[in-house]
Structure 1
Amino acid sequence: MVTPFRRAAPGIAMAVAITAVSSSAPMVVLAHEGHVPPLAVAFWRNAIAVALLIPAALLWRRAEIRRLGRAGWRRCLVSGVALAVHFGTWIPSAVLTDVATATALVSTTPLWTGLIAVLQGRRPPRTTWIGVGAAVAGAALATGAGVTVSATAVLGDVLALIGGLAGAVYVMAGSRAREEMSTVTYTAVVYSIAALGLLAVCLATGTPLWGYAAAGWLAIAAQTAGPQLLGHSLVNFALHRLDPTLVSLLLLLEVPGAAVLGAVWLGQTPPVAAWPGIALLLAGVAVALAGQRAVRSTTPAHSPNGRVPSS
């Protein structure tokens, strides 16, 4: 018998996950104000997560790790590098442009997964193309609004879009890797690869990795505990019980959530000209996801499940 709590658990999990990931961009800005460079935030949130996950993976999933073949390691490598690019572009974008616009642009991941599927020979329905067109137009409007602010804001918008594309590669590679490994093993391996990649970038660019004030370390710890561990984990929990498209749609609430937290914590709001683009972008992503859901309901293929990496 399914109890009321078990029926409500996925919804509760998503509510907490959305709150956690919505705090990511504002906390990046808070860390930056505490003199922690964005690339250092990206590295430490992965490195600290690895320090917590690796012991669990070695304790409970050692046999699974030993069974990983060359294909599994290759998928994890692609996924880990893509995740490093995702964090390495999106997190800096949050301090270059406003948090709402950066979050909206990085949320284009489902659109990129759909376009990658087209390159792989799949034919999406007309609804998906309508959504893609609307979202691209919205992204152009939101990015164009940054021109009225500064060239720095435009750079932030472009980095957020690159972060969304990298997130799509992460999802595509991870969707196959997850078929043969558990969440603990997958996240431990992929976060390790991402952390090593980000460490190399930090060392190459001379990004300081220590010497921060207590407030900076607190912001890093909050990033790791909230968006990195709590957000990702609860989304994965909900995905076992809710339709992936529904989860992707619910995660779009991260955009208004980040806007609200940015306004409350930072006194920051996007330029007025950006709001129509943000609204059109979100509507386009929702329509495109609906089209992908229609395809999955009629095609039992191993297609990407519509997940978006929580920020």
Structure 2
Amino acid sequence: MNRNNPPIPVPLLMLVGIVAISFSSIFIKWSVAPVSVQGMYRLLFTFLLMLPFARPYSGAAAALRLRDWLLLFASGTMLALHFLLWMGSLTFTSVASSTMIMALQPVFIMVGAYIWYKEKTAGSAILGMGIAILGVVFIGWGDVGLSADHLKGDLLSIGGTVAVAIHMLIGQKLVVRMPSFLYSLMVFFSAVIVFAVYNLAAGIPFFNYPAREWGIFVLLAVVPTVFGHILFNWLLQYVSATTVSMNILGEPVGASLLAFLLLGEQLKALQWAGGLLVLFGLAVYVFAGRRIHNDFIDKGVTINE
């Protein structure tokens, strides 16, 4: 992991990313296209936006080993699976419930990081995680499991959460060996291929969508992907996958507020209280994580390599 700090403070970058990804569920709810088509064009348009800036990374791409390419494809496959399952969950359950469950990914990340990378987490950071997760549970408490459709949406969101956790753990391994831009570019391209094969096999049309849908595809590419996922991938150079995923816990707060304002989804008092708990838990976790990171730097030790 890079010992230096990014040119812009990490908390500010995290805030930008959280706001950006909070719009994702809103755009998905507005669209009537199949979620696999939304996911495919979301990543395809992002890939095309990034492609003009890819030439400086051609040397780094040529230096990649076969194992790196296989891991990139695996990461892209997990990203495609995440979008397919999570975006599909929004068809059956509310924004608050779906994003609440997806925000539990730090649990999977923390376990995976400990098993694969021997990454340890301080007790104070675990406390922050617990507070934030409790707040996330409050946000979705009112409508989780109220019907068969809600249960189906919940299960889809859980599957998507596991997939994105694996995607992030693979990414943490790869970004120490290649530029984050190259990593994102190749992972998005891999995910596009996976989506294209899926749509082709399922007989889902690639075209014949109204202009409004194409506009939503572009918004999905620019807002939550470029200013959300790409930003978080870049931050993996400076902070651990666990820290990045913990800050994504802010998405249920932002998404629930946007769903209330733009979709008319009602929030209960318990959910508003949950939002405050999430923010407080994030503050505790980020403070503990930054203190540990700085301690390692002061001792001249690199972490998570």
TM (norm. structure 1) is 0.78
Secondary structure, counterpart of 1:147 in structure 2: coil
- State how far apart, in whole Å, the 2-side matches of 1:214 and 1:112 are: 39
Secondary structure, counterpart of 1:179 in structure 2: coil
AA aligned to 1:67 is: A
Secondary structure, counterpart of 1:72 in structure 2: helix
| Contact 2:181-2:234 within 8 A present in 1 as well | no
Secondary structure, counterpart of 2:206 in structure 1: coil
In the TM superposition, residue 234 of structure 1 has moved relative to its aligned partner by 3.7
* Counterpart check, 1:162 vs 2:159: yes
**Per-residue displacement from partner, 1:193-250 (whole Å, max 9, x unpaired)?**
1111112222222323221111111111110111111223444566667787765544
- State how far apart, in whole Å, the 2-side matches of 1:96 and 1:116 are: 29
| Contact 1:98-1:269 within 8 A present in 2 as well | no
Q: Note closer, same or farther for the CA distance 1:11–1:133 as it changes in structure 2 (3 Å cut).
A: closer
Q: Note closer, same or farther for the CA distance 1:161–1:289 as it changes in structure 2 (3 Å cut).
A: farther
**Per-residue displacement from partner, 1:21-80 (whole Å, max 9, x unpaired)?**
11000110001xxx21112111111112222333432x2211111110122112212211
Secondary structure, counterpart of 1:174 in structure 2: helix
Name which of 29, 33, 39 aligns with 2:36: 39
Match in the other structure for 2:76: 80
Pairs aligned (count): 294
Q: What percent identity do the matched residue pairs reach? A: 25
- State how far apart, in whole Å, the 2-side matches of 1:51 and 1:84 are: 17
- State how far apart, in whole Å, the 1-side matches of 2:292 and 2:212 are: 47
Match in the other structure for 2:29: 29
- State how far apart, in whole Å, the 2-side matches of 1:194 and 1:11 are: 29
Give runs of aligned pairs for residues 37-76 of structure 1, distance below 5 A: 37-57=34-54, 59-76=55-72
5+ residue gaps in structure 1? Answer: 1-5, 305-311
Match in the other structure for 1:202: 199
**Per-residue displacement from partner, 1:99-149 (whole Å, max 9, x unpaired)?**
12211211222211111134348465556666777748965994784322x
Secondary structure, counterpart of 2:90 in structure 1: helix
TM (norm. structure 2) is 0.79
Match in the other structure for 2:150: 153
Match in the other structure for 2:3: none
Q: Note closer, same or farther for the CA distance 1:157–1:283 as it changes in structure 2 (3 Å cut).
A: farther
- State how far apart, in whole Å, the 1-side matches of 2:62 and 2:25 are: 37
Match in the other structure for 1:307: none
In the TM superposition, residue 184 of structure 1 has moved relative to its aligned partner by 2.2
| Contact 1:245-1:293 within 8 A present in 2 as well | no
* Counterpart check, 1:110 vs 2:106: yes
- State how far apart, in whole Å, the 2-side matches of 1:9 and 1:287 are: 17
- State how far apart, in whole Å, the 1-side matches of 2:79 and 2:136 are: 25
- State how far apart, in whole Å, the 1-side matches of 2:47 and 2:289 are: 33
Moved more, 102-111 or 294-303: 294-303
AA aligned to 2:22 is: S
- State how far apart, in whole Å, the 1-side matches of 2:204 and 2:141 are: 27
Q: Note closer, same or farther for the CA distance 1:146–1:84 as it changes in structure 2 (3 Å cut).
A: same
Secondary structure, counterpart of 1:180 in structure 2: coil
